[in-house]
């Protein structure tokens, strides 16, 4: 029995030494030994072979149609015209068409078609589920056509399970534990120092080191573009939101002041340690409901040009890496300079999207740590300020559009709160008033304002 424990301790010691020497220390100082790059090259070649094997599993023409159909989430070809244009086309197609005013029976077809389109494929709610892949990545079968392909591919999948769960998972858990432990210990020790320039430098160093260790724990490969536009002190960094690890991705290239609600448990321990060394902004649950208090604390932070830029995700929830949804205007009422950032993940190696309505945090982290890798691109956009005559909503929409264009994402005006809530009655009334004005032949919105 003593021999067994001696061997176990020796194995653990060797494992810890390899993790610290080959991964943790290089990560802390931003040095790469080429291990991740070599791993990604092997992974890319493996997935290419798997894709070719899938294509040879069926007739060429059928396979091409399958890949083309699964390459997009779009099932329905939608018309881009307005309600007036589409109903007008329906009316003109009738033997005795009506150009406007009065009710036409053909109008029913417009609303019926819109209702069926929404039932079959809602462009909003589909943003809250994982995006479909062109081909199987040996992780999740995102298309029914890929349930069984060949014996060799099935064996390869089995080998991949062993690699991901028996090698990568223990390694990533070890690195994550080291990173979080070092974050708590390091920030706590720095917090005892007086408020001098050295303290700020050490605090940023500790934060960046810890985030880099955690990123290596996810085998993250991050490509940063336009670094000359990186957020500066006294500004606000806004980005599209796909995953909780967005913070880790961005903080690998610079330190930010975080904004969030106070938590208990392990998260609370981490928050209390972080705020000792860096002016993060944590709110109590009751304070989060006080909009004026939140705005004032953010303004006070931004007005101090010595403090780190604030990192905010204005969508308020995670979207599935295909689109950008409505930005809440609160972040754009503070004033100051906005530094937009676009984040786009490569779903080929792992799904970074957190479907919080389906998976809790532990389940999500397990899925992340058993994926092949996390690869993403980060674009720093030129800073933006509010223009004359532009209100907070217009400013937020302009920033959102810029992020969507740069990241190749769909720009949607819908609220991400629909992930858990229903469409507001005011939006339904708006559609009803729009059609009513067509039928009556005049603007009927005035009669409905009193009831709003």
Q: Mean pLDDT per segment of 10 residues, for the chain of length 452 residues? A: 73 73 72 80 87 67 46 49 64 56 63 62 70 75 57 86 91 88 89 84 88 87 92 92 91 88 79 85 74 82 87 89 88 88 91 84 87 93 90 92 93 76 64 66 46 40
Query: Which residues on adjacent β-strands are paired with residue 258?
Result: 311
431 alpha-carbon distance from chain centroid: 31
Tell me the C-alpha to C-alpha distance, in Å, between residue 443 and each of 25, 401, 427, 447, 449. 68, 31, 17, 9, 12
Instruction: Give the pLDDT score at 307.
Output: 87
Instruction: Give the pLDDT score at 156.
Output: 87
Instruction: Give the pLDDT score at 69.
Output: 43
Query: Which residues on adjacent β-strands are paired with residue 225?
Result: 379
**DSSP 8-state secondary structure symbol assigned to residue 293:** H
> Closest Cα partner for 90 from 74, 121, 114, 118?
114
Instruction: Give the pLDDT score at 240.
Output: 94
Dihedral (CA of 311, 264, 288, 412) sign = positive
**DSSP 8-state secondary structure symbol assigned to residue 384:** B
Instruction: Give the pLDDT score at 452.
Output: 40
Structure tokens that stand for 97 in this block: 């068409």
Instruction: Give the pLDDT score at 223.
Output: 93
Instruction: Give the pLDDT score at 236.
Output: 92
Structure tokens that stand for 280 in this block: 């993060």
The residue with tokens 């830029």 is 309
């Amino acid at each position: 029995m003593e021999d067994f424990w001696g061997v176990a301790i020796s194995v653990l010691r060797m494992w810890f030494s390899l993790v610290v020497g080959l991964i943790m220390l290089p990560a802390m100082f931003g040095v790469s030994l080429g291990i991740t790059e070599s791993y990604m090259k092997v992974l890319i070649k493996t997935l290419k072979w798997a894709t070719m094997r899938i294509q040879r599993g069926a007739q060429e023409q059928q396979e091409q149609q399958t890949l083309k159909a699964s390459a997009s989430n779009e099932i329905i070809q939608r018309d881009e015209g307005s309600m007036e244009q589409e109903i007008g086309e329906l009316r003109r197609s009738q033997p005795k068409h009506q150009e406007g005013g009065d009710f036409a029976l053909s109008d029913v077809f417009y609303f019926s078609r819109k209702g069926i389109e929404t039932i079959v494929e809602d462009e909003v709610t589909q943003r809250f589920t994982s995006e479909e892949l062109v081909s199987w990545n040996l992780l999740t079968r995102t298309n029914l056509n890929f349930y069984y392909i060949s014996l060799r591919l099935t064996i390869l999948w089995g080998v991949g399970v062993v690699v991901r769960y028996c090698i990568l998972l223990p390694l990533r858990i070890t690195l994550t534990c080291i990173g979080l432990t070092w974050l708590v210990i390091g920030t706590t020790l720095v917090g005892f120092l007086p408020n001098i320039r050295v303290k700020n430098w050490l605090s940023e160093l500790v934060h960046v080191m810890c985030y880099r260790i955690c990123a290596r724990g996810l085998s993250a490969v991050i490509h940063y573009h336009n670094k000359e536009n990186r957020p500066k002190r006294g500004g606000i960094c806004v980005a599209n939101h796909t995953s909780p690890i967005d913070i880790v991705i961005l903080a690998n290239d610079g330190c930010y002041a975080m904004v969030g609600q106070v938590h208990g448990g392990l998260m609370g321990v981490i928050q209390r340690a972080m705020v000792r060394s860096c002016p993060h902004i944590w709110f109590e649950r009751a304070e989060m409901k006080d909009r004026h208090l939140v705005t004032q604390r953010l303004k006070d932070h931004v007005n101090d040009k010595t403090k780190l830029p604030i990192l905010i995700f204005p969508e308020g929830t995670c979207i599935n890496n295909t689109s950008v949804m409505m930005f809440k205007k609160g972040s754009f009422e503070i004033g100051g300079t906005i530094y937009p950032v676009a984040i786009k993940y490569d779903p080929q190696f792992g799904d970074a999207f957190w479907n919080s309505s389906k998976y809790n945090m532990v389940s999500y982290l397990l899925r992340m740590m058993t994926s092949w890798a996390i690869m993403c691109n980060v674009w720093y956009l030129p800073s933006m300020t509010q223009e004359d005559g532009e209100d907070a909503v217009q400013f937020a929409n302009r920033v959102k559009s810029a992020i969507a264009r740069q990241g190749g994402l769909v720009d949607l005006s819908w609220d991400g709160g629909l992930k858990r809530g229903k469409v507001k009655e005011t939006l339904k009334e708006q559609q009803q008033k729009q059609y009513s004005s067509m039928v009556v032949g005049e603007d009927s919105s005035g009669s409905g304002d009193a009831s709003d």
